[in-house]
Chain A
């Protein structure tokens, strides 16, 4: 099974601060995704990437940037964190077959 790791697993940030969430996958998948999950909203796509150097906006990109410096790594950046960005963030990689996605363990972010 695909291995996707995320760091940190838990993060407390202050309003207005910069937050970087990191994701690494070791399965050579081209596609990578960032989601947030909130009660009542399910999984919502923030940004995604089709390969190193590419980033695309998902359904809710406002307030977030993404970076894909290599095949393995995909970061989500909150330049000016706000309390509304308190959530659980999941990274996923996709094998391009349909596209089956494999999720990391998630990062719990609390913005105070």
Chain B
């Protein structure tokens, strides 16, 4: 079955440094990949979504590129801000999951001054 792997449970960075959160997935189908962000005491919100191989998707300073050859959809930002501190979930949706979201375990990102 489908699965999503986020290898880092916690990432701590200094403000201004680049951010990269890893996401790899396993599926036999054509798929949609998502990044959701959840700030403290808030609901998860869609950050990025892609289904196109090798196309960079950008939103709110973050970007990710779906690479089907390596089954990856890493989240990146060139310069971290304090307000980026949050929980980040990678997820996928495809025919095998009946288009429900299969969630990764989440990465907590803490940005320090």
Seen from chain A, the residues whose Cβ lies within 8 Å of a Cβ on chain B are 33, 42-43, 45, 48, 90, 94, 96, 98-106
User: Are B101 and A102 in contact (CB-based, < 8 A)?
Assistant: no
Given A42-B103, A98-B34, A98-B51, list of 5 further CB < 8 A pairs?
A90-B43, A98-B93, A99-B32, A105-B42, A105-B43
Q: How distant is A109 from chain B, measured CB to nearest CB, in Å?
A: 15
User: Are A100 and B46 in contact (CB-based, < 8 A)?
Assistant: yes
Q: Does B100 contact A (CB under 8 A)?
A: yes
Q: A42-B106, A98-B49 are in contact. Are A103 and B100 (CB under 8 A)?
A: no
Q: Chain A interface secondary structure, helix, strand, loop or mixed?
A: strand
Q: Which residue of B lies closest to A96 (CB)?
A: B99
Q: Which residue of B lies closest to A44 (CB)?
A: B103
Q: Chain B interface secondary structure, helix, strand, loop or mixed?
A: loop
Q: Which residues of A contact B93 (CB under 8 A)?
A: 98-99
Q: How distant is A12 from chain B, measured CB to nearest CB, in Å?
A: 18
Q: How far is the CA of A100 from the CA of B51 in the complex (A)?
A: 12
Q: How far is the CA of A103 from the CA of B32 in the complex (A)?
A: 18
Q: Which residues of B contact A42 (CB under 8 A)?
A: 89, 103-106
Q: Which residues of A contact B106 (CB under 8 A)?
A: 42-43
- B86-113 residues with Cβ-Cβ distance < 8 A to A are 89, 93, 99-101, 103-106
Q: Which residues of A contact B46 (CB under 8 A)?
A: 100-102
